[in-house]
Amino acid sequence: MKKWFCKSEGLDATTKIAVYTAGYCVAKNNQKILAAVLPVALGIQETVDNGADNEIMNAVLKDAIASLVDRVSDDVVIQGAIAGVLAQLKIDVTGAADLELSNAAIKDLIDSFVAGMSTPVSK
């Protein structure tokens, strides 16, 4: 019963779906970006799973997101999916403000993104 009434520290289902979709868009639309981004995401995923410091994880995630945004600057489909997720999470990678996501939220974000990128893509 606890899981039904306690507020989760992670992401809500709608945001997880948006993040998954963004990952899928990367896999479907640009294999070059996928090859560069998936190992980074898997590294962040492993680091979070091993209980990394929250402040460090937020800094690493912000850098990774900024790098992803730079890589997709010429792909409108991926750009739109990523922009939607950033807007939902109220993340401004160009600003000076640090991210303030819990490790549970970072884990949900990375898990959903990796799942989307790992989904078999039909052409």
Please tell me the distance from the alpha carbon of residue 97 to that of residue 76, in angstroms, as a whole number: 26
**pTM (2 decimals)?**
0.86
pLDDT at 5: 46
* Local confidence pLDDT in tens for the 123 residues of the chain: 445 444 557 899 999 999 999 999 999 988 898 999 999 999 999 999 998 899 999 999 999 998 888 888 788 988 999 999 999 998 888 877 888 999 999 999 999 999 999 987 665
Please tell me the distance from the alpha carbon of residue 25 to that of residue 123, in angstroms, as a whole number: 12
Name the token pair of 94: 């160009």
pLDDT at 38: 93
Please tell me the distance from the alpha carbon of residue 89 to that of residue 67, in angstroms, as a whole number: 17
> To the nearest whole number, what is the mean pLDDT of the chain?
87
Name the token pair of 108: 């949900």
**From residue 102, how far is each of 52, 97, 105 by CA, in Å?**
11, 16, 5
pLDDT at 4: 46
Sole residue written with tokens 């963004």: 22
pLDDT at 8: 57
